[in-house]
Chain A
Amino acid sequence: MAEAPVSDLGLSPELADAVVGTWAEDTETAYVIAPDRILDVLTHLRDAQGYDFLSNLTCVDYQGYGGKLRGDVSERLEIVYNLYSTRRGGGSVALHVRVPADDTVPTATSVYPGANLQEREVYDLYGIKFDGHPNLRRILLWDGFHGHPMRKDWHEAYYEEDAKPFRSRHPKGDYEFHEDKLPWAKNTTYPAGWDPDSWQEAVAYVPVSQAPQHENKPHLDTESIVVNLGPHHPSTHGVFRMLTRVEGETILALEPEMGYLHRNHEKIGERNTWLMNMPFTDRLDYLNSMSNNWAYALAVEKLADIEVPERAEYLRVIMAEFTRIVNHAWSIGFILNDLGALQTPALYAIEEREMILDLFEAVSGARMMCNYMRFGGVVRDLPEGWHEQAAYLANERLPRALDELDRLLTENEILRARGRGVGYLAVEDLIALSVSGPMIRAGGLAYDIRKAEPYGIYDRFDFDIPTLPNSDIFDRYYIRLLEAKESVRILQQALRDMPEGEILGGRGGYTLRAPEGEVYGRLEAPKGELGFYLASDGKTQPWRYHIRSPSYINLNALGPMSVGYKVADAIVILGAIDIVLGEVDR
């Protein structure tokens, strides 16, 4: 454990004593910061060092941790910040703040407004309060939920054991339902002093500082009312609710409300062995299981130092780019749906998706829940005839289909009239709100992890990062089409150059014990930056398994983007963020 030089951060002498400990993982240096100085350090890093993007903010409960103490600080909970620079690219700087349980930490929202949703999640799942947060309410769970479920001493209703495999299954496994052993009556406890009968849901909005000011005042002096859009509505793309305050048709404030699909994926992940989590990642963004698999494999490979054979690298790129096309075709179709062009563009857009899913099924056994990658490669080689079919798609069918979609939509005057200038937010604000993926590229910033911090073998391919200048609905539609075309280019090269050989490196099986440490691995998923934050104490289960999901964090921008526009616009503004609730709620 080498001491990392504090000067790496360029801290002034006054700030240097804010760092109370450091340690160096194999990959990146990590700093432990005194809780009361964190804002100073964050401000310094943002302003003087160019770390303008708060990518990941999460928490780890170190109660009962088997590994060694790091940075000589022993408080129970640790908040982790991963910062990146979108201008410079490159790796992250990781800050850690350790506090006792139920303590208070100053909120980072004043420096990075994008900390909003992530801090609410930490508050909800770990119980840390963020001093000065504009809207510190539970987010994934409801107010009547007792306890903070990600803490290590919290047990779920059907709790069996801390870690799988559960002993009851073999050799005397007699099938039983745990529900039967635990009637609901005994399972409903409320927080102290909380009364279900008198409870009313709070109606609270984050003050919107980033939203542009719209001049046109309503003609009539009307009273504003609260309208719930969702949670059961096709236009919310799943069980998702927009709590809006409207005056006439104009939105005055909008707050995303979520958690209807919450299953505490991360708690399940900490009971699972490392490999067991792989099929679970399929269920996050269920349109793109291939890139979810890859992101998780990437993080574990970084932590456990596992090599990936050449052919597997190519296979991963091929699957990931096919997935990107699937996702973008889907999202284009549904942006149009939300605009009122019901079904025709959507159905045209997903014709080729069917063909790609057929290919996924042929190689992995499932169309959507692919579970295709493993630590150190992929699990099955291509079946006979697959390569020719894929090459036909990449070289002929997909370019033709994307051009056709282009002809069908891009010059359409109605689409332009409805999309131009709607949902505008300056790209600086998007970055400050931790938004990633096609949205910031539609605002003119060429930030794509495949180029900024290349993973896998992306540095070998010749492709561009398309950007568009206007940061509105139309550009968010069009950027996806352009990106899909770039994916086709990558596919053509990858299919041409793929070598024969091994597909799975040696030691990533189900008995994997990842070495002690922590890691943050990320990649450019179709929806934005998908990251996995993992901590290990050398056991067969991850100590911490956190997903930085682009769908969830991009929702930071929903309120600011919608204010001042009409209700009908809010629907398509949400559509153009491109969320999947499996990933939002986890």
Chain B
Amino acid sequence: MFGTGLLKGLGVTLKHALDTFEDDRESVPDRYRGSLELGNNRRVIQQPIDQEGLLTIQYPEEKRLLPERFRYIPMLIWDSEKQEDRCTACGICAKVCPPQCIWIVRDSDENGKPMTRCSDFYIDAAVCMSCSFCVEFCPFDAIKMNHDYELAVYDRYPQLVYDMAELTVPLEYYAALWPTQYEEEQARRKEEEEQKRKQEEEKAAKAAARAAAKSAAAAEESAGAAPRRSAAELQALAKERAAQRQAQAADGGGSDDDAAAAKRARMEELKRRAQERARARKAESGE
């Protein structure tokens, strides 16, 4: 009969409408199941795969919970344990970047010798295609993908060309965004460090053994000759050295503290600059 197909189709829309209506009358509609209430109608929603009813999310009050692997614009990692930038300015990320939007200035010491850190690091966020190749190929875990996607500004330049201060985030921030990957990475890094330490120890032990053998040989050789210093003299010398070493160690500890303080200051400075930048950007874009 003419019209049955139409009616059948309308039945589907009716069912949709009723289902949604019913779902919305529940105390917790299906789309809010398992979501995070932030108050003031603000929510972080994790849509379950078997969700029924209305699927729409009221952005910006409601936002989706992003999966860990979500990639947007890269960020640089400040290793807060070691108090240093992880980036070594090796330039690999700039080389693999498909649209070539990473620009790195390698730092150099006062003699002009290149150092393993960068003095600046730019990413043009307007050009970046969020491919995450830089992350995949960085050998030092120094660059990771940020989840922050609300980047709108009025002008491309300079607001969308991020410099090092804007790109740098502390390790904890990364650990919070990428928990699974961070755990794996930490485990791997620890293991690598352990191995390195072991190798170094072995090397040191071997060197010591060699040195001992050598000095033993030298001692044997010189045994024939007359001793240049008396045993008492040698003892006094050893004491003196030990005292020296101790003093040095105390000194060194002091300078370690100084270095740490300097690093902390730099961290604070970075944070402050980032905030300033953000404020300036907002002001420039007329917010």
Contacts and interface: CB of A to CB of B under 8 A. Distances in A.
Q: Do A and B bind each other?
A: yes
Interface of A: 164-166, 168-175, 177, 272-273, 275-280, 283, 344, 348, 351, 354-355, 358, 361-366, 369, 371, 379-380, 383-384, 389, 392-393, 397, 404, 407-414, 416, 510
A510 B133 CA distance: 9
A383 B67 contact: yes
Interface stretch (B78-86, B102-110, B227-235): B102-110
A365 B98 contact: no
Contacts of B89: 170-171
A345 B89 CA distance: 53
Contacts of B129: 279-280, 283, 369
Contacts of A175: 103, 122, 124, 161
A279 B13 contact: no
Given A171-B105, A175-B161, A510 B96 contact: yes
A344 B68 CA distance: 33
B94 A407 contact: no
A174 to B, nearest CB: 6
A407 B8 contact: yes
A279 B96 CA distance: 12
Given A169-B102, A170-B106, A175-B103, A371 B131 contact: yes
Interface of B: 2-6, 8-9, 11-13, 16, 47, 49-50, 55, 66-71, 89, 91, 94-98, 100, 102-106, 114, 122, 124, 129-133, 136-137, 145, 157, 161, 180
Contacts of B13: 344, 408
Smallest CB-CB A-B distances: 6 pairs: A411-B5, A173-B103, A170-B91, A171-B106, A279-B131, A276-B98
Contacts of B70: 361, 365-366
Contact of B5 (A170, A280, A412): A412
Given A173-B105, A358-B47, A383-B69, 6 more contacts: A174-B105, A279-B98, A361-B66, A361-B69, A366-B71, A379-B136
A170 B97 CA distance: 12
A435 to B, nearest CB: 29
25 contacts: A164-B100, A165-B94, A169-B95, A169-B104, A170-B91, A170-B94, A170-B95, A170-B104, A170-B106, A173-B103, A280-B98, A344-B13, A348-B12, A361-B67, A362-B67, A362-B69, A363-B69, A365-B145, A383-B69, A383-B180, A408-B12, A409-B9, A411-B8, A413-B3, A416-B5
B12 A404 contact: yes
A374 to B, nearest CB: 9
Contact of B9 (A280, A361, A408): A408
Nearest to A276: B98
Contact of B96 (A171, A276, A393, A412): A276
Nearest to B163: A175
B103 A170 contact: yes
A381 to B, nearest CB: 11
B122 A173 contact: yes
Nearest to A180: B157
A200 B104 CA distance: 48
Contacts of B91: 169-171
A146 B2 CA distance: 60
A278 B96 CA distance: 12
B12 A393 contact: no
Contacts of B69: 361-365, 380, 383
A273 B8 CA distance: 54
Contacts of A177: 157
A383 B106 contact: no
A173 B124 CA distance: 12
Contacts of A171: 89, 91, 104-106, 114
Contacts of A283: 129
B133 A412 contact: no
Among B131, B136, B180, find the residue whose CB has the most chain A CB atoms closer than 10 A: B131
